[in-house]
Amino acid sequence: MPDKDYDALLEAMTLEEQVSLLSGASFWRTAAIERLGVAPVKLTDGPNGARGEDFSGGIRSAAYPVGIALAATWAPSLVEEAAADLAREARSKGARVLLGPTVNMHRNPLNGRNFECFSEDPTLASAMAVAYVRGVQSQGVGATIKHFIGNECEHERRTTSSQIDETTLREIYLPPFEAAVKEARVACVMTAYNALNGVHTSQNHWLLEDVLRGEWGFDGVVMSDWTATHSTAEGLLAGLDLEMPGPTVHRGAKLIAAARDDAALAGAVRRSARRILALADRVGAGEQDDLDTERAEDRPETRALIRRLGAEAAVLLKNDDRQLPLDPARLSRVAVIGPNSAKAVMFGGGSAQINAHYSVSPLQGLRQALPGVEITHAIGCPGDRYLPLLDQPVEIRFFEGVTMQGDPVLVKQGETSEFRWFGPVAPEVDHLAFSARLATTYEAPETGAYEIGLMSAGTSRLYVDGVLVLDAWNGWSRGQSYFGHGSDERRTVLHMQAGRRYEITLDYACGDGLTTTLKAVRFGLRPPSAKGSLEEAVALAKEADAVIVVAGLNDSWETEAEDRASLALPEPQDALIEAVLAANPATTVVIQSGSPVQMPWADRARSILQLWYPGQECGHALADVLTGRAEPGGRLPQSFPAGPEGLEGVMQRPDRGASVPYDEGSFIGYRGFLRRGDRPAFPFGHGLGYADIRFGESRVSATPEGASVEVVLQNHSDRPGQEVVQIYLRGAEDNACWLRAFRKLRLQPGERGEVRLDLTRRDFSRWSEEDGEWREMVGPVEILIGRSVEVIHNTHMVDLAGSKHCFAMSQTAGSETLR
């Protein structure tokens, strides 16, 4: 619709109607104006799957690899393909806008949301952001890049201010957003919870108007993160178009009254309303849209794509003696061990969680991949932060008011012993004041001491056979669960007898002021044998031809609104890995996490595979890589430190209301390691393959835009493989090193290939805060060509003389470590 039609439409609106467009009508929908044919737009989380409107349970959806896994592919074309498929998932939920991608930087390795983000490097993150946005928007769905900006810490994210100087912003944190706007014309930008330099990002005029719209030319919608609007007039005048979620807190009648007497504010209302109208047209929102019907579309092509993505993202960190891939012909017995071995850990926690169509565990995947091999299994040790949910039907009855009196207003069946509601629960339920009773019958599989746990956002109490065993009702207190709205888990131990059926009931209430935005309750139960046995694991390992240990984190350890407390694996996983390695050297350690973990046993492990959270095809993707059906295609998008030394500043948990100083400036990740002279456990860009691909000669030549780098590679093995050519620049000024270009190349056995990568003048520049613009680096610049930031094969010197590039064609052959 051309601008003149928007003008006519806006003229036909009352001020009240214009204002109604500037906040959500509900948690996931914008407002409609039926008399003028203005349709609502439905939004959905999130970056690794389209959940729909139900925050817990709900219609099933495809679970894709998380953001860090997508970035680990170093393959923008593949990420674009995945994002296009994800957009089709969004359409199946009736949504026109997807709340992703998340492009905050991996500054803090303990950030609870690192799994959702791409990288510590702005060049890699920018390439992934552009690919993701293009893929989503190729299907007519609007992408929402988030969180703008400085949300690199989840702990106290709502109360802290990220203190970032402009040079650091321009060089590290702004580039993915800038690229998404300029190169992919992203539809929406979501502001962050935190403040930037003392001003909330949702009302930061410099950020939203001067930079985003003024410099970059953004013409889409700026929305707040959920409940992160803090003012009526200030946010709107600063450029915040849409307050989410609805119903409004800061706009509505407040904004109408203010705009009647303020021409500038009324003009801002009109501009933002225009942008909401333009978004609805851009994504094809119409009056006939069926927003209530959500479909579960389990497509074969999506299954195959997710499986391929999982293998492309897997990073082979170590492979001494070519222990991998496994040769099925030489195997009679394989032991699969570890807390993540018999369950599929698909994604992290928070808004990234979805109700997946299905899940394939590592144990299932290996059993299918090795049909002629005996597969033994042991948990070894627990890995859950909270006691496991009951995976069986649980009835829930909802009551009006908080005392569970009268007849229930709604009865539903859940698939597990957890219920979460973000916003409305159901039309029949007053989500501001309701109570519920959960009930199920549990048949004990064995005799012994069972652990049982309870936690809730709201008050709760749990009964077994009518006896109160856990009380989070009297003396309820806020803990770390459920985005900081819930209590910590309360536990007890009960003796149960095998074969006996136990009636478990739970009372829950919300409405006493403890929580109104997010309501949740869960109970977990663990039989004695589910704790695992170190002795059993070691015994199986000793008898096996090969051992696969699958350890790591999960969605309770890495989650939105909370940061991890340590780089270490949860106890006692390190002890399990050490014991299994001692029992059988033919052990491969597989780590699932969305961020780095310490590996004190790494020197003793022959092979280590970083699997990330690869989505619903978890076990199949793992089996493909371990058996050599697929190449481990991943390279690290984040440095893996050996320990916390040197990172104490960025990992410090801020106090409530504190400033978070980004004192390290642009030297996060690998730049920080190089500056400090520290050696990470595994460097940025690192990853091994099964093929023997070697770097050959390289050439550098000047172009009108900057420079062109050509690199020759050859596959010297009898199997196909791939390598990622990485181009870094190192300036003489402060010895800073920057990834500026990369390309993944696939080669058949014996094949020789050539990669050409172009560098722009911006690539040879650093931000000058004094001049307020990009300036070319002073002095000679090294062009470093390698397979990681540490393993450099060829170097060229570039002398930046005036406005022209003069190239010294010196080349260093062979490999070196960049230090």
**What is the CATH number for 428?**
2.60.120.260
The verdict on residue 171 lying in a domain is no
5: phi then psi, degrees, rounded to nearest 5: -70, -35
The verdict on residue 438 lying in a domain is yes
The verdict on residue 454 lying in a domain is yes
**Is the same domain home to 471 and 611?**
no
Cα–Cα distance, 793 to 698 (Å, whole number): 10
The set of residues, in sequence order, having a beta carbon less than 8 Å from that of 563 and lying 6+ positions away, is 108, 110, 111, 112, 153, 154, 155, 653
**Is the same domain home to 148 and 192?**
yes
Give the pLDDT confidence score for residue 392 in this predicted structure: 96
Q: What burial class does residue 479 get, using C-beta atoms within 10 Å of its C-beta: 0-12 exposed, 13-18 middle, 19+ buried?
A: middle
For residue 477, how many other CB atoms are within 10 A of its CB? 8
For the chain, which ranges sit under pLDDT 70?
1-4, 512-516, 801-819
Structural domains counted in the chain: 4
Give the pLDDT confidence score for residue 516 in this predicted structure: 58
Question: 193 in the Ramachandran plot: left (φ > 0), alpha (ψ -120 to 50) or beta?
Answer: alpha
Q: What burial class does residue 436 get, using C-beta atoms within 10 Å of its C-beta: 0-12 exposed, 13-18 middle, 19+ buried?
A: buried
**Is the same domain home to 637 and 649?**
yes
The verdict on residue 169 lying in a domain is no
Cα–Cα distance, 714 to 748 (Å, whole number): 9
**Is the same domain home to 776 and 790?**
yes
**Is the same domain home to 138 and 262?**
yes
The set of residues, in sequence order, having a beta carbon less than 8 Å from that of 648 and lying 6+ positions away, is none
End residue of a domain, out of 656, 683, 718: 656
The set of residues, in sequence order, having a beta carbon less than 8 Å from that of 691 and lying 6+ positions away, is 631, 715, 717, 719, 720, 721, 722, 747, 749
3-state secondary structure 568-634: CCCCCHHHHHHHHHHHCCCEEEEEECCCCCCCCCHHHCCEEEECCCCCCCHHHHHHHHHCCCCCCCC
The verdict on residue 307 lying in a domain is yes
CATH number at 790 reads 2.60.40.10
- HSE at residue 627, side-chain half, CA atoms within 13 A, is 21
Amino acid at 109: P
**Is the same domain home to 401 and 376?**
no
The verdict on residue 99 lying in a domain is yes
What share of the chain in percent tops pLDDT 70? 96
End residue of a domain, out of 500, 530, 560: 530
**Is the same domain home to 526 and 538?**
no
The verdict on residue 111 lying in a domain is yes
Give the pLDDT confidence score for residue 518 in this predicted structure: 84
CATH number at 640 reads 3.40.50.1700
The verdict on residue 159 lying in a domain is no
**Is the same domain home to 539 and 499?**
no
**Is the same domain home to 545 and 644?**
yes
**Is the same domain home to 697 and 753?**
yes
End residue of a domain, out of 255, 282, 309: 282
Residues in the chain: 819
**Is the same domain home to 125 and 109?**
yes
551: phi then psi, degrees, rounded to nearest 5: -125, -175
Give the pLDDT confidence score for residue 812 in this predicted structure: 52
**Is the same domain home to 505 and 555?**
no
State the residue range of the domain holding 118: 3-56+67-153+176-282
Terminal CA-CA length for the chain: 56
Give the pLDDT confidence score for residue 1 in this predicted structure: 44
Q: Closest Cα partner for 239 from 249, 254, 252, 229?
A: 229
Q: Catalytic residues, which ones?
A: 225
